[in-house]
Structure 1
Amino acid sequence: MSTFIWFLIIFGTIVIVHEFGHFFFARKSGILVREFSVGMGPKLYSKRSGSTAYTVRMLPLGGYVRMAGWQDEEADLRPGMQVSLITGANGKISRINTSDKLMLEGGVPVQVSASDLIDKLTISGYANGDESQLLTWDVDHDATVIEKDGTEVQIAPRDVQFQSVSIWRRILVNFAGPMNNFILAFIAFFVLALTMGVPSTGNQIGTVSSNSPAARAGLQANDRIVAVDGKQTGSFQAVATQIGKHKQQSIKLSVRRGGKAMTLTVKPKKGLIGISSAIDRNIGTALKYSVTEPWQLTRQILGALRSLVTGGFSLNKLAGPVGIYTMTSQAASGGLYTIIWFMASLSINLGIMNLLPIPMLDGGKIVLNIIEMIRRKPLPPEKEGMVTLVGAALVFALMIAVTINDILRIF
Structure 2
Amino acid sequence: MNNAPGLLLTILAFLAVIGPLVFVHEMGHYLVGRWFGVKAEVFSIGFGREIFGFTDRLGTRWKFGWLPLGGYVRFAGDMNPASQPDPAWMLLPAEERNRTFQSKSVGRRALIVAAGPLTNFLFAILIIAGFVLVQGQPSTAPIAGKIMAGSPAEQAGFASGDVVKRVDGQAIASFAALTSYVRSRPDTPITADVARGGEEIAIRVTPRAVPAVDQQGQPVKMGMLGISGQTEPVGPLTALRLGAQQSWYIVRIMADGLGEILTGSRSAQELGGPLRIAQASGQMAADGLGPFAFFIALISINLGFINLLPVPMLDGGHLLFYALEAVRRKPVAPQVQEWAFRSGLLLLLGLMLFATFNDLSAFGLWRGLSGLIG
Amino acid paired to 1:264: A
Larger radius of gyration between Structure 1 and Structure 2: 1
Structure 1 position 263, deviation (Å): 3.1
Partner of residue 343 from structure 1, selected from 282, 296, 318: 296
The C-alpha deviation readout for 1:273-314, integer Å capped at 9, x for no partner, is 443222445336633531232122111100111012211685
Alpha-carbon contact 1:69-1:162 (below 8 Å) kept: yes
Q: Which position in structure 2 is the counterpart of 1:362?
A: 315
Q: Distance in 1 between matches of 2:190 and 2:264?
A: 43
**Structure 2: which 5+ runs fail to align?**
1-7, 209-222, 366-374
Q: Is the 8 A contact 1:39 1:59 kept in 2?
A: yes
Q: 2:182 matched to which residue of 1?
A: 243
Does the C-alpha gap of structure 1 residues 337 and 197 become closer, same or farther in structure 2, counting only changes over 3 Å? farther
Q: Alignment identity in percent?
A: 34
Q: How high is the TM-score relative to the length of structure 2?
A: 0.82
Contact 1:184 1:344 in 2 (8 A): yes
- Provide the aligned length of Structure 1 versus Structure 2: 338
Residue 230 of structure 2 is aligned to residue 292 of structure 1: no
Q: Which residue of 2 aligns with 1:98?
A: none
**Structure 2 residue 203 is the aligned partner of structure 1 residue 265:** yes
Residue 32 of structure 2 aligns with an amino acid whose one-letter code is F
CA 1:379–1:273 in structure 2 vs 1: closer, same or farther (change >3 Å)?
closer
C-alpha distance in 2, partners of 1:312/1:275? Answer: 35
Q: For the residues of structure 2 that align with 1:318 and 1:73, how far apart are their CA atoms?
A: 26
Residues 54, 225 of structure 1: alpha-carbon distance in 2 compared, 3 angstrom cutoff: same
Q: Does 1:54 align with 2:6?
A: no
1:220 to 147, 159, 162: 159
Aligned to 2:52: 45
Amino acid at match of 1:65: V
Preserved contact between residue 189 and residue 290 of structure 1 (Cα < 8 Å): yes
Alpha carbons of structure 1 residues 207 and 61: separation in structure 2 relative to 1, 3 Å: same
Shift of 1:117: 6.8
* Greater CA drift, 30-39 or 212-221: 212-221
The 5 A counterparts of 1:133-144 are none
1-structure distance, mates of 2:158, 2:170 = 18
- Rounded Cα–Cα distance in structure 1 between residues aligned with 2:45 and 2:152: 54
Residue aligning to 1:119: 91
Contact 2:164 2:195 in 1 (8 A): yes
What stretches of structure 1 of length at least 5 have no aligned partner?
A: 79-114, 122-139, 142-156
What is the aligned partner in structure 1 of residue 359 from structure 2?
Answer: 406
Q: CA separation of 1:23/1:216 partners in 2, compared to 1, >3 Å: closer, same or farther?
A: closer
Higher RCO, 1 or 2 (CA under 8 Å, sep at least 6)? 2
C-alpha displacement of 1:174 = 1.0
Shift in CA distance, 120/160, structure 1 to aligned 2, threshold 3 Å:
closer
Bigger share in helix: 2
Distance 2:131 2:303 in 1: 20
Larger mean CA deviation between 389-398 and 4-13 belongs to: 389-398
User: Which of these residues, 27, 36, 50, is aligned with residue 20 of structure 1?
Assistant: 27
Q: Which amino acid aligns with 2:339?
A: M
What is aligned with 1:275? Answer: 227
Instruction: Please give the alpha-carbon distance, in whole angstroms, between the structure 2 residues aligned to 1:188 and 1:53.
Output: 29
What is the CA distance between 1:335 and its match in structure 2?
1.3
CA 1:240 to 1:363, structure 2 compared with 1: closer, same or farther past 3 Å?
same
**How far did residue 376 of structure 1 move?**
0.6
Among 333, 337, 343, the alignment partner of 1:384 is: 337
Query: Does residue 172 of the first structure (1) align with residue 104 of the second (2)?
Result: no
SS at match of 2:355: helix
Residue 368 of structure 2 corresponds to which residue in structure 1?
Answer: none
- Mapping for residues 319-330 of structure 1, pairs under 5 Å: 319-330=272-283
Task: Provide the C-alpha distance between the structure 2 equivalents of 1:376 and 1:308, rounded to a whole number of angstroms.
Answer: 36
Cα distance in 1, alignment partners of residues 81 and 153 from structure 2: 67
Indicate whether 1:189 and 2:128 are aligned.
yes
Which stretch of structure 1 is more off in the superposition, 282-291 or 392-401? 282-291
1:272 is displaced (CA, Å) by: 4.0
Structure that is richer in strand per residue = 1
Match of 1:231 among 170, 173, 188: 170
1:131-158 residue CA offsets vs partner (Å, 9 max, x unmatched): xxxxxxxxx97xxxxxxxxxxxxxxx42
Alpha-carbon distance in structure 1 between the residues aligned to 2:92 and 2:27:
31
Alignment of 1:96-111 (within 5 A): none
Aligned-CA RMSD value: 2.7
Separation (CA, whole Å) in 2 of partners of 1:67 and 1:217: 65
Q: Is the 8 A contact 2:22 2:70 kept in 1?
A: yes
Letter in 2 for 1:69: G
Structure 2 CA distance for aligned equivalents of residues 314 and 215 of structure 1: 40
CA distance in 2, matches of 1:206, 1:405: 41
Compare 263-272 and 390-399 and name the one that shifted more.
Answer: 263-272
Closer, same or farther: CA 164–230 of 1 in aligned 2, 3 Å: same
Look up the match of 2:195: 256
Give 1:221 deviation, angstroms. 0.9
The one-letter code of the counterpart of 2:51 is L
Distance in 2 (CA, whole Å) between partners of 1:347 and 1:212 is: 34
- In structure 1, the partner of 2:254 is 301
Aligned letter for 2:177? A
TM-score normalized with structure 1 length: 0.75
